[in-house]
């Protein structure tokens, strides 16, 4: 399993999922309901990062993210699919 993940992440794929692993490009958004939180919107997904670094908490920031989704996890926000980020980077569009 770890070899697949390493190959998947090193290939720089975007917009792909393998099981619960994902590589997507999108925009960071700030949602002001339920006390406020940051999410990532991609072409077809709403992602709720569990571990979004402070330097990426900027509304409208374009990012590429790699991580593992937890679609069955319940959160306080009840918004999006929770994701544990393995890597996130700013991109220019």
Say what the pLDDT of residue 11 is: 44
φ/ψ of residue 86, rounded to 5: -90, -30
Ranges of each domain in the chain: 2-90
Say what the pLDDT of residue 8 is: 42
Say what the pLDDT of residue 9 is: 44
Tens digits of residue pLDDT in 64-81: 999 999 988 888 888 999
- Topology, domain 2-90: OB fold (Dihydrolipoamide Acetyltransferase, E2P) (2.40.50)
Tens digits of residue pLDDT in 1-58: 444 444 444 444 445 555 689 999 999 999 998 889 999 999 889 999 999 999 999 9
The rounded Cα 4 to chain-centroid distance in angstroms is 19
Say what the pLDDT of residue 19 is: 62
Parallel, antiparallel, or unpaired: how do β-strands 81-90 and 46-49 relate? parallel
Total-model pTM: 0.78
């Amino acid at each position: 399993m770890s070899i697949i993940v390493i190959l998947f992440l090193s290939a720089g794929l975007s917009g792909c999922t393998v099981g619960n692993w994902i590589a997507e490009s999108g925009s960071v958004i700030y949602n002001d309901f339920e006390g406020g939180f940051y999410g990532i919107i991609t072409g077809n997904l709403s992602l709720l990062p569990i571990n979004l670094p402070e330097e990426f908490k900027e509304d409208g920031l374009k990012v590429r993210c790699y991580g593992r989704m937890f679609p069955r996890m319940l959160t306080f926000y009840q918004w999006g699919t929770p994701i544990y980020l393995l890597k996130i980077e700013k991109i220019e569009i």
